[in-house]
A and B are shown apart, each in its own frame.
Chain A
Amino acid sequence: MTRTAVAWLPDWEAEDAAAFEPVLDALDLVTPHIEVLEPGCVAMPLRRRIGDEADFCERLIDTVAGLVDHDCLTGVADGLFAALLAARTGRIVPPGGDAAFLAPFDIAGLQTTGLVDTETCETLRHLGIGTLGAFCDLPGAAVAERFGARARQAQALASGELTRPLAIRQAEPELTVRVDADDPYETVEQAAFAARPLAERLLETLGGRNLTCTRVTVTAHTVRGLARERTWQLDPAAPSTELARRVRWQLEGWLTGGGTDAIAAIELTPGGLLGLLEAGRGLWDFKDAATVRAEAALRHAGGLLGPDNVRIAVETDGRDLPERCDLDTWGGEAAARRTGPWPGTLPDPPPAVTGTGEDAEVLAVDGTPVSVAARGTMSHTPALVSLGGERIPVIAWAGPWPVTERWWNDDAARRYARLQVELADGRAALLYLEDRRWKVAGWYD
């Protein structure tokens, strides 16, 4: 005879079924047969060979606490209903003791069955039926007549007469499709020829489950045992030819880019699974044809040059020019956005050309090198800037603006002074004085 155990996470708050997934993975280590009643509450059948029930519950609680750091209460009883109520207090009901265990419970516990609403419970209470035991003692026919079939069903559950079998969770289906080459693919054409039916097979597999995906990971296993893989964003509404083309671009990039020998197997793994119904909502999204075309072109360019070379700029935290701006891989993970106002940042406009890093010298009229004192004043009025041996007169300037950053940390501490100059040849530059050396931080262009 099978008994039922219920594990209940009293602190679970998230409504999201996906967030509960890690807990289920942890429970899988203890028992593979699980029914999710709701996020935060699961039931599992206990078979004879599972051994001592108390031991099993201990193991289950330890596993959940250890792997996902959540407190967990367990209840064991013959039926699911009794086990659910037992889990509230973490008890194990002896075999055959369900009815006795349930009898003293308040009538409100009947709602746990999901068959009876609050109003019926209140009515019962007003009729003087305050506990489950009293409710069970009522004649079944009378309950059915007065409250309907669902209340009768609840009565049967409360008296431990009726149990329902558990609906066991299906394991995540294996959706990866793979093709092994009879003869390793040496050329792009051969590989692309194999990739097309593979793409069709992937979408067919997904379609059979009413799913579609927003990411595809292409993995190529080479003859020498290397594996190269790359994840692509995919428009969920795209047809299989689109996916095949994407795979072709990727294989083209690998095979023509060098560093990849003949391909022995190609694997496609879907990611970001989405119901077809939800994906259909994308139809009313704001993506117009031009955007879709542009994104396809960017993906293609990423395929040729490597996705890391297609970048989007974002403003990030920092004061200095390179810190303030980060280049994200387009379609990849987004970097952290700017969070604070960062006082001391140079106001717009910033220099248009940076990173050239030329050495410079700032000189006074008589050729004396100019430095910046600790109090933020120049030692002389800057009159000339020497760049690569050429001395250019300064016609206008501003600054210096000193920066002392992270002085509390020896490794990250930084001191520099910034100076804006306009040169006689029409150019304007931002100069930094750091470690007693002037450098061009950027050109205004």
Chain B
Amino acid sequence: MVNGVPAELAAELGLRLAGELKPAVRVPLKASRHILPVTPDISALLPYGGLATVTTLMASRVGATSLLWRLLAGPTQAGVWCAVVGLPHRYPLAARAAGVDLERLALIEADGPRIADAAGALVGGVAVLVVPSEAFGMQQTRRLTARARKGGTSLVWWETRPVPGADARLEVARARWKGLRENAGRRYGAGRLDACELDVAARWRTGGDHRARIWPYGGQTPDNVIDLRGGRP
């Protein structure tokens, strides 16, 4: 321990030793970590500003698919391969509308236990792997996560069942569809659905909640324009 005059001085001036300060310093990100670029609107929601190893996406919310495609837009445009396993009925052109390069998006059709087989074959190879969490048992989930961390694959859990230990959990708090109108009493409805606004909440493993508004298909109105149509939120 430090005694005598220096200690008294330190106490008086409110100084602390470097050793005492250390726990308060945030751990800087490790260079070895594999971070993939994402579009600027999403990057604020993710730790390290990019797609880290394990991300979860709450599947049950309306707008989750749009958020998923927006999340994959950055990596596919950067030219890395993304694989989506076992998500049936997804319409790929919606992915393109959200900015995904379809040439780099592999859609793997699988169901039941074959999803785990396919994921096992792809992890460590493709840059981003999207899998539904319900297809994996606890043991398989841990193993896949470990292999993803080791192999440098970013794992995105399509969270149909909670998955522990994600670097970031994304959840669409609210989705608003833009362009449709009330059209009360009309026989022909004017307008068309041309954009969507997602309120996305992110919770990081390191703590802290983050929120952002994301327009996956573009069409965001500038801040200085007030939408006078309808007055619906």
How far is it, in angstroms, between the C-alpha of A419 and the C-alpha of B193 when the chains are bound?
10
Of B15-23, B48-56, B120-128, B203-211, the segment with at least 4 beta carbons within 8 Å of chain A is: B120-128
**A367-396 CB contacts (< 8 Å) to partner B:** 376-382, 395-396
B178 → chain A closest CB, angstroms:
10
**A318-366 CB contacts (< 8 Å) to partner B:** 321, 324-325, 327, 330, 346-356
- B220 CB within 8 Å of chain A: no
- In contact, B125 and A298 (Cβ under 8 angstroms): yes
**Minimal Cβ-Cβ distance residue in A for B217:** A349
How far is it, in angstroms, between the C-alpha of A304 and the C-alpha of B182 when the chains are bound?
50
Given contacts A293-B125, A352-B66, A445-B66, contact A301 B195 (CB under 8 A): no
- B94 CB within 8 Å of chain A: yes
Q: Which residues on the A side are within 8 Å of B182 (C-beta)?
A: 395-396
- In contact, A314 and B102 (Cβ under 8 angstroms): yes
Of A31-39, A98-106, A109-117, A305-313, the segment with at least 4 beta carbons within 8 Å of chain B is: A305-313
- Which single member of A313, A353, A400 contacts B105 (CB below 8 Å)? A313
Interface of B is mostly: mixed
Q: Which residues on the A side are within 8 Å of B175 (C-beta)?
A: 426
Q: Which residues on the A side are within 8 Å of B179 (C-beta)?
A: 398
How far is it, in angstroms, between the C-alpha of A295 and the C-alpha of B64 when the chains are bound?
28
Of B1-9, B85-93, B161-169, the segment with at least 4 beta carbons within 8 Å of chain A is: B85-93
- Interface mask (A281-317 → B, CB under 8 Å = 1, otherwise 0): 0000000001101111110110111000111111100
- B58 CB within 8 Å of chain A: no
How far is it, in angstroms, between the C-alpha of A293 and the C-alpha of B121 when the chains are bound?
11
- In contact, A395 and B81 (Cβ under 8 angstroms): no
Q: Which residues on the A side are within 8 Å of B102 (C-beta)?
A: 312-315
- In contact, A381 and B185 (Cβ under 8 angstroms): yes
- A422 CB within 8 Å of chain B: yes
- B213 CB within 8 Å of chain A: no
Of B24-32, B38-46, B106-114, B136-144, the segment with at least 4 beta carbons within 8 Å of chain A is: B106-114
How far is it, in angstroms, between the C-alpha of A324 and the C-alpha of B91 when the chains are bound?
10
A9 → chain B closest CB, angstroms:
40
Q: Which residues on the B side are within 8 Å of A300 (C-beta)?
A: 121-122, 125
- In contact, B105 and A312 (Cβ under 8 angstroms): yes
Q: Which residues on the B side are within 8 Å of A20 (C-beta)?
A: none
- In contact, B108 and A301 (Cβ under 8 angstroms): yes
Q: Which residues on the A side are within 8 Å of B123 (C-beta)?
A: 297
How far is it, in angstroms, between the C-alpha of A399 and the C-alpha of B190 when the chains are bound?
7
Given contacts A428-B193, A445-B65, contact A305 B106 (CB under 8 A): no
How far is it, in angstroms, between the C-alpha of A302 and the C-alpha of B5 when the chains are bound?
73
- In contact, B93 and A298 (Cβ under 8 angstroms): no
- A160 CB within 8 Å of chain B: no
- In contact, B80 and A290 (Cβ under 8 angstroms): yes
- Show 7 A/B contacts (Cβ-Cβ < 8 Å), sorted by A: A290-B81, A294-B127, A310-B107, A315-B93, A379-B187, A426-B175, A444-B66
Lowest 8 CB-CB distances: which A-B pairs, in order?
Answer: A297-B125, A313-B92, A294-B81, A396-B180, A352-B65, A349-B217, A352-B94, A348-B97
- A interface residues (Cβ-Cβ under 8 A, vs B): 290-291, 293-298, 300-301, 303-305, 309-315, 321, 324-325, 327, 330, 346-356, 376-382, 395-400, 419-422, 426-428, 442, 444-445
